[in-house]
Chains A and B, each alone.
Chain A
Amino acid sequence: MFKKIPFLILVAGLAASGAWAAEILPDTPVRHNGRIKPFDAFARQTLKVLAEADKWDKKTAFPLIKEAVQNPKSAASWKWIRVDLKDLKRYLNLSDETHFFSYDDLLPVKSRVEFLVQNAKEKRKKDERPSKTEQKAETLYNQIRTFEELQSGGLYTVLPADDAAVNKSRLRVESFYLNYEPHTKAAALYFLACFIFLLFTDKKMHVFANLCILLAFLWHTVGLICRVYVLARPPVSNMYESMIFMSWVLVFFAGIFSFIYKNNIPLRVGALVGGLVMLYSRLLPIDASLDVLVPVLRSTYWLSVHVMTVVSSYGAFGLAMALGHRYLILDYMGKLPKKAAQESANLMDRVIQLGVILIGTGTVLGGVWANESWGRFWGWDPKETWALITFLCYLIVVHLRFLKKMNSFWLAFSAVLGFLVVLMTWYGVNFVLGRGLHSYGQGSGGMKWIIYYLIAEAAFIGFVLKARLLDRGFSG
């Protein structure tokens, strides 16, 4: 049964102990991408690369990859490598009918893929952006290479369970994290709570909804703790982690403000936006896997504090944005009495103030880290520049509010608008500008869902402006 397992692994395994050879199990430790992880985690990551999905042919990653490892010849004929770009398929003479191809289908056109990849490489060397076809060809090339390395066994190393490098409890936590998907559960519960608030007016149901949020927040927290424990680093090192952390902070702040002001509203809108951010973290093509870091990010205290502070400020601004939407919608519908409007504005003030303190502090801490790490406090890197822009934009709002030069309507409006600047800092700098120190290991693309959000938000803003300026539709 194991004759297909590459020789090297066999030797390594046998040399250490005979116990490993029993059977590949989901929690068999393997070394992959510089980290020791359960076989299941490796399988999921590999399937994600090949099929760009969590399942293929209704089978999950573990049995699939296990079979592929044990039976590489037949795996070469599985049509599970996803290629979806029409232009690329045409260039490779692949069928337009399907998105999935087997290694055997792709092998004859590998040289064409290599051709495009080399073009892309040349362009990157010259600092030009490769064409979409070339970028997709790079993805495809990576898929082909991954499959070949999976076949040859170069991709991973199976370790004996009693290897000294294996931390069993870490493996167990990682398996738990992968099997229970705490963040999916949390998002679902946030949405459930929002539906209850929307559909029921019954007090008891509201108590139940609040319990749902509490449970969701617990799952959310458990998920974060799992990541921190498995990777032994703060949960803010890539886009996925920062989205999960931002939504956690958002709900946390919502809870705090709800508690202080004895007002359930921040928690309700917070749960909705928190759930949406978590949903987005799944929709965007960003890497959710647990992986190691480049040396400069492998640091320290200041880096963690800096990033966590800045991402927390996004959480606060996200909450302000949610409150802003609520304010504008209710005000337009005429369902916002003066006292409630005043309360809501006061809340937005407080949330924005918190955000300003956090982003200001976070940006300065970034300077501290930069100074500790490479001797320069400020370097006009695009990300830090955009953090400064965000800070300055909200600073204008804070100033105008302090001097009573901005009414509640425009405050709510600014809270909505300001979050677009936050998005630019958070997502846009890495994916739109694609430059600078902060663009470590970021992919490209996935603009679709962001564009949907932007269109929806632009329509909302346009509608509000029209109603306000032309139809005088708001109180103020």
Chain B
Amino acid sequence: MRKVIQVFGSLGFAIFLIAFLVLILAVSTLSESWHGTPFVQRYIYSAFWFDLFLSLLWINIFCATLTRWPFQKKHTGFIITHIGILTLLIGSLLSRLFGVEGQISLFENQAKQNILQQGWEIRLLDEKQKLHKQPVKIRPSKGTYDIAIEGTPYVFTVLKSYENSTLRTTLSEGTSADATNHALRVNLSSERIGLNENFWLIENNPEDAHSSFKNIGPALIQMKVEKNGENETKPLLLLYSAKYEKSFEVPIDQKELREVKLANSELTLTRLNYYPNAKISRNELTNAPDEIRFNPAVQFEIRNANGHTEEHTRFLIFPDYPTLKGGLSADMFGLKVGLRVETPDELKSEFSPSLNFYFKNNEWSYDSVSSKGKSGRRPLEPKKATPTGWMDMVFKVSEVFVRAKIVRSIESAPASKTTDNYPALFLQNKATGAADWLSPEKNASFQTLPAGKIEMALSVQSKAVPFALKLVDFRKIDYPGTSNAQEFESDVVLMDVIKKTTIERTISMNKPLDYAGYRIFQSSFAQDPERGEMSVFTVAKNPGIGLIYSGSVIILIGVIMLFYIQPVWLGKKKRHV
């Protein structure tokens, strides 16, 4: 036994462990740089083998302490230090096992007593409107397996399981019964600046009025389907609201419009200005017909029934991003804004630089315009890399559709390095055989599973805490003269129904609220169109923290003993060994 202790407590073993730990940590920070934080958290820091390795270190320190038995005066510093380390490690173990970390997101005047944690759960609302929660581990599936929802008779078979998924828009060719809807898949690339972009040009996409062209920087890539006998169109403002799932068209007859009610919605357009030759000058949008030949833009304000307004600016050509200023937040109504303007004849195929695809008399052709001039129309050869003639770029049309049908589907995606991952499960009800996707992603219309009268969802795991937290007011304070945040503050009320305590407090960055072993921190904030500001709090319970702190202090005392007091106390010659 003594021998075993000596081996495990030996300095050689300690040095080996420390050196190996250094190696693991160095490799893991490098792989974090390549693969992202979730990757290393999962495969290294939270992995079982890493815990095992750290416990070896614990064993080493413990045995090293034992080998000094019986302790002598010269061991004082050593023993204190190592007891400190053991205390610290026990503290971290306690925190690891019994700690709680989660988030509460609150709107003003809202209260909650649940925190959201890492991990996922299936929520099932049964026939009696009773909510059941079943935690699930989402791993890439190898074969199928069953999940039973506790407290209910329901059992589901997981047919597919993705750790991270995206809602993908794909196109497919329709049948002759479908309306024509031309579409091209274009790849644009340039080696010199490291660009490689794939995009669709679609004649009609209900969700995107701009689907028939694409701006890349100052360049315009467009598809024109030339039909015979069609009249010239007036400028048309196109709106699609994801929130109301409706699209609207507002014809622009003159340069200014006032008060247009959007049919079948609570939205009203309160002001609209149209700029056929838009230019941004000194942060103001102006009409500059002398300078700008063709760059239509529209600027308008929209209001909902609650009186919240939002101002949008949309350019046809450049800059190629919409801008908006919001009352309560940006993008309250989930609006996609488009502008349809017929290009004037003299500019029709002259926009520089541009790449134009034409569909005429059942044939595809293209031309390109650059500062050097305009190329003649040439027949389009799909899948052939062709120079655009400008900005040293090359394009390739990889797919061509005549009756494109837009299909949305859930697909597996590579794990994101920074943003949250959205898992997806493809479940089959064992009893009825009905199957569908469950995914927490917004806009995915797969939330409910047709399995009788129940409703299901895949959600972030939640946990009850012994208090309710209510947000009274949230404030973002900026540095004067800038919009850079200086401070975030939340006035909250904490209520414990059982103990009948109520605490009113202001939580700000670095000023948390302590209650019953929980600490509540200001973490971030968000804005919602309807409900105003949302404050996000981190709620943490760290039961080992006392041991961690005292362990650290003990180590410091031990080390100071070892380095500075003992040499004086025991004389220089006698060291601790």
Q: Spell out A's residues near B (CB within 8 Å).
A: 31-35, 87, 91, 111-112, 114-116, 118-119, 127, 131, 133-134, 152, 154, 157, 165, 292, 294-296, 298-300, 303, 353, 356-357, 360-361, 364, 367-368, 371-378, 380, 382, 385-386, 388-389, 392-393, 395-396, 399-400, 402-403, 405, 429, 432-436
Contacts and interface: CB of A to CB of B under 8 A. Distances in A.
B32 A382 contact: yes
B576 A300 contact: no
B479 to A, nearest CB: 3
Contacts of A377: 92, 95, 542, 545, 548
Given A115-B218, A116-B217, A374-B521, A300 B510 contact: yes
B218 A111 contact: yes
B101 interface: yes
Interface string B160-203: 00000000000000000000000000000000111100000000
Contact of B40 (A357, A380, A399): A380
Contact of A374 (B195, B523, B545): B523
B120 interface: no
B563 interface: yes
A295 B18 contact: no
Interface string B399-419: 000000000000000001110
Contacts of B283: 152, 154
Contact of A378 (B25, B92, B487, B523): B92
A405 B211 CA distance: 72
A112 B548 contact: no
Given A385-B28, A385-B29, A294 B41 contact: no
Contacts of A405: 11
Nearest to A429: B29
Contacts of A33: 482
A296 B525 CA distance: 13
Interface-central residue, B21, B480, B510, B519, by most chain A CB under 10 Å: B510
B135 interface: no
B560 interface: yes
B482 A435 contact: no
Q: Which 7 A-B pairs have the closest CB atoms?
A: A115-B217, A375-B540, A34-B479, A111-B218, A299-B510, A131-B194, A433-B33
B282 interface: yes
Contacts of B575: 402
A169 B576 CA distance: 55
A434 B488 CA distance: 26
Contact of A133 (B45, B194, B486, B555): B194
B481 interface: yes
Contacts of B282: 152, 154
B25 A403 contact: no
A360 B40 CA distance: 24
A33 B479 CA distance: 8
Given A294-B485, A299-B509, A385-B25, A435 B37 contact: yes
Interface string B543-562: 00100110010011001100
Contact of A114 (B32, B195, B218): B218
Contacts of A303: 510
B550 to A, nearest CB: 11
Interface of B: 11, 14-15, 18-19, 21-22, 25-26, 28-30, 32-33, 36-37, 40-41, 45, 92, 95, 101, 192-195, 216-219, 282-283, 318-321, 391-392, 416-418, 478-482, 484-488, 509-510, 512, 519, 521, 523, 538-540, 542, 545, 548-549, 552, 555-556, 559-560, 563, 575-577
B480 A373 contact: no
Contacts of A375: 101, 512, 519, 521, 538-540, 542
A393 B41 CA distance: 23
A433 B37 CA distance: 12
19 contacts: A32-B481, A115-B219, A115-B391, A152-B282, A157-B481, A165-B480, A294-B485, A295-B485, A295-B509, A298-B486, A298-B509, A299-B510, A300-B510, A353-B563, A373-B509, A374-B540, A392-B18, A435-B32, A436-B32
A357 B560 contact: yes
A61 B394 CA distance: 44
A389 B25 contact: yes
A133 B193 contact: yes
A380 B216 contact: no
B513 to A, nearest CB: 11
A392 B23 CA distance: 11
A360 B84 CA distance: 13
B193 A131 contact: yes
A299 B511 CA distance: 9
Nearest to A435: B33
B476 to A, nearest CB: 9
A115 B523 CA distance: 35
Contacts of B193: 87, 91, 116, 119, 131, 133-134
Given A361-B556, A435-B32, 19 more contacts: A31-B480, A34-B479, A34-B481, A91-B192, A114-B217, A115-B219, A119-B193, A119-B194, A127-B416, A131-B194, A154-B283, A165-B480, A295-B485, A295-B486, A299-B510, A360-B559, A367-B552, A377-B542, A436-B37
A434 B283 CA distance: 33
A28 B480 CA distance: 18
Contacts of A32: 481
A402 B417 contact: no
Nearest to B549: A368
B485 A367 contact: no
A3 to B, nearest CB: 16
A392 B26 CA distance: 12
Interface-central residue, B95, B563, B576, by most chain A CB under 10 Å: B563
Contacts of B577: 402-403
A418 to B, nearest CB: 11
Given A133-B194, A377-B542, A118 B217 contact: yes
Contacts of B318: 111, 114
A290 B575 CA distance: 49
Given A127-B36, A375-B521, A392 B512 contact: no
Contacts of B36: 127
A69 to B, nearest CB: 15
A82 to B, nearest CB: 20
A112 B512 CA distance: 47
A388 B22 CA distance: 8
Contacts of B563: 353, 357
Nearest to A34: B479
Given A34-B479, A116-B217, A295 B487 contact: yes
A435 B482 CA distance: 26
